[in-house]
Structure 1
Amino acid sequence: MQLFCESINGSCIRSSWSNSIRISMYIFMVCIILATVAGNLTVIISISHFKQLHTPTNFLILSMATVDFLLGFFIMPCSMVRSVEHCWYFGEFFCKIHTSMDIMLSTASIFHLSFISIDRYYAVCDPLRYKSKINTFVIVVMVCISWMVPAAFAFGMIFLDLNLRGAEKIYNHVHCAGGCFLIFSETSGIVASIVSFYIPGFVMLCIYRKIYSVARKQARSINAISRKKMEFEMKHDISFCRERKAAKTLGIIMGAFLICWTPFFFSTVINPFMNYVIPPIIIDALVWFGYLNSTLNPIVYAFFYMWFRRALKIILFGKVFQQDSSRTHLFAD
């Protein structure tokens, strides 16, 4: 049995896995981290560089890609070492910083998705008033809320130890030198899950259900008059199809988020009521399953968005450094 530090009483026990298992875990997690960082960095460069992509929805996607990039670049590497070694080598204060940022960025993702669903609602269900409802000021407000509220919630909860109120006994029992554990009491687990996941998730599902219903009705109407179109109507229908495809794509992104994070938030709620019977290794695996969502988002863009694939080619071949490359047309207006 190896301890984190032999000279310290109450030191954490390091993992007893063989070197082959550790190396395999490191390789697997490094691949996830690299895919997360590279994929989201490509989204950030694409939307920032190409002027054609400077739209309200894309600015929200840009902000969300920044969240996923930071999660992959700053949070996941430290989590990787903790997951494989079962020890925390970066100090108690940085443990609080890491945990706070982890909660903040995870919560910020679903806040972004909530606002993206609102954006898609107006684009598909009320297109005539879309530009007046979703303008630059509204987008800035959405982005600020998506960052500031999760930051205040996460850092306040961790640094004020609000998550431990009512769970002091279990924390004192499992706490050890060289550990970095996130423990919720019954109350804090419910509050954190409701604020960070369940309420925003329920709102998104309701909005996308409405979008899907309206899109189907509009599709039937378009099919009914498809043989009597004027040139203006053709342009309107192309625009509508683009908006509907964007809504579908973002709906898939939202579904991926719910699938990836639901197991973790469900366990966060039930674990305190079951006297913390869920093994820490399972909780850790659920966290990484949630992290995987940040890896999947750029893959969804690459699969569904032609502009992303074209932008990726331009970036990979270095054409992004050419003069006036920012004015490149990635799709037909």
Structure 2
Amino acid sequence: MLSPENVSSPDCLNCTQAVGEVNVSKAILLGVIFGGLILFGVLGNILVILSVACHKHLQSVTNYYIINLAVADLLLTSVVLPFSAIFEILGYWIFGRIFCNIWAAVDVLCCTASIMSLCVISIDRYIGVSYPLRYPAIVTEKRGVLALLCVWALSLVISIGPLFGWKQPAPEDERICQINTAPSYVLFSALGSFYLPLIIILVMYCRVYVVAKKESKGLSCGLKTEKSHSEEVTLRIHCKNATENPGSTPSTKHKSHFSVRLLKFSREKKAAKSLGIVVGCFILCWLPFFLIMPIDGTSKPPSSRLEDYLHRTAEAKKGNGAK
């Protein structure tokens, strides 16, 4: 055991009765786990960003949203998680009160931006599946940039409240760095950071499912009709020994339009499925924490050790979720 000065406090989030005690074997194990998660998260998100930046054909508005998600998760894994790891390993905070407040604000900023990026992506996928041919006209680059600016602006508004005093009184011991448990802020941040985006995400993906199912059925019937109609037209052409080029007939033009529509819809449907898996992982990561946080924030006294554990677990998983 490494035993710096022991401290005892009921407000300590992450500490045992002896705050300064560090179990060496536990510290090594946590260090390896956190180190692996941080390395995997940083490299994975950098690869996502570089893959879009280095391939011109991938530079679409949809992929800009995915880059934004990767940037938020990259900041989380590179700026927030290393200090979380040190906090977890030592069992107490060593960086002072001011940095604790800044670190907590950046934590909320990155997590909120990540969740809101998924919200924007779900809206984008709904438009892509519902209006595949009109999508480029609806989702322009200018509107995409505006959406990303809104994501970071809203995330900033939600995260900076505690820096201006919207929090519970800070403990005297600077080695205690805890999640903000002020009831009004807890409810505000939980609604803004998670529940409202979650409702939008679920509504959008339910709509995507309904539209995709309806469109798949329609395109399947259309494909059979198109095939039958094409065979009929070909038979008539052979019987009449038509001299004009079949490619110029209205039926062929309709077939070409139908093929483009089918191809675009298939691509959008595949992208929606992939991103649906990401959203499912996101819900599994964050739902336990955001279920406990409002209850914990309004309980007397708050039992924040479970909340803190769930938060760090969700952070670690989410930081590796954009790849």
Match of 2:258 in 1: 233
Q: Is residue 2:126 matched to residue 1:126?
A: no
- Given candidates 255, 268, 277, the residue that maps to 1:252 is 277
TM-score by length of 1: 0.80
Deviations 1:265-314 (A, max 9, x none): 1111001333245352x22321122111221320xxxxxxxxxxxxxxxx
Aligned AA for 1:124? V
| Residue 42 (structure 2) pairs with residue 18 (structure 1) | no
Which residue of the partner structure matches residue 262 of structure 1?
287
Unaligned runs of 5+ residues in structure 2 are 228-254
Segments of 5+ residues of structure 1 without an aligned counterpart are: 299-333
C-alpha contact (below 8 Å) 1:60/1:112 kept by paired residues: yes
Match status 1:99 vs 2:90: no
Report the aligned-residue RMSD.
2.3
CA positional deviation for 1:86: 1.4
Written as runs of structure 1 = structure 2, the 5 A alignment for 1:1-333 is 5=5, 13-14=18-19, 16=21, 18-155=23-160, 157-164=161-168, 168=169, 172=171, 176-227=173-224, 228=226, 230-276=255-301, 278-280=303-305, 282-291=306-315, 292-298=317-323
1: CA distance between counterparts of 2:281 and 2:20?
A: 31
Deviations 1:121-152 (A, max 9, x none): 11111223211211011001011111122113
Q: What secondary structure is seen at the aligned counterpart in 2 of 1:222?
A: helix
Question: Counterparts of 1:153 and 1:180 in 2: how far apart (Å)?
Answer: 19
Identity of aligned residues (%): 28
Aligned-pair CA distance for 1:176 = 2.1
What SS does the aligned partner of 1:177 have? coil
Find the structure with the greater CA-based Rg. 2
The separation in 1 between residues aligned to 2:130 and 2:8, in whole angstroms, is 63
How far, CA to CA, are the matches of 2:139 and 2:129 in structure 1? 12
CA distance in 1, matches of 2:297, 2:109: 22
Read off the aligned partner of 2:67 and give its amino acid letter: L
Please report how far the alpha carbon of residue 40 of structure 1 lies from its aligned counterpart in structure 2 after TM superposition.
0.4
- TM-superposed CA distance for 1:14, in Å, is 2.6
CA-CA distance at 1:15 after TM superposition: 5.5
Partner of 2:180, secondary structure, is coil
- The 3 A distance-change label for structure 1 pair 9 and 219 is closer
Deviation, structure 1 residue 163: 2.7
Partner SS state of residue 179, structure 2: coil
Distance 1:160 1:267 in 2: 25
- Work out the CA distance in 2 between the residues paired with 1:276 and 1:31: 35
Aligned-partner residue type, residue 37 of structure 2: I
1:2–1:273 CA distance, 2 compared to 1 (3 A): farther
> Amino acid of the residue matched to residue 164 of structure 2?
L
Q: Which residue of 1 aligns with 2:251?
A: none
Shift of 1:9: 10
Which residue identity lines up with residue 167 of structure 2 in the other structure?
A: N
TM-score, reference length from structure 2: 0.83
Matched residue SS, 1:127: coil
Change (3 A) 1:48 1:293: same
Report the Cα distance in structure 1 between the residues aligned to 2:4 and 2:194, rounded to whole angstroms.
34
* Contact 1:86-1:179 at 8 Å conserved across structures: no
Answer yes or no: is the 8 Å Cα contact 1:75–1:98 preserved in 2. Answer: yes
Give 2:239's aligned residue.
Answer: none
The one-letter amino acid paired with 1:289 is T
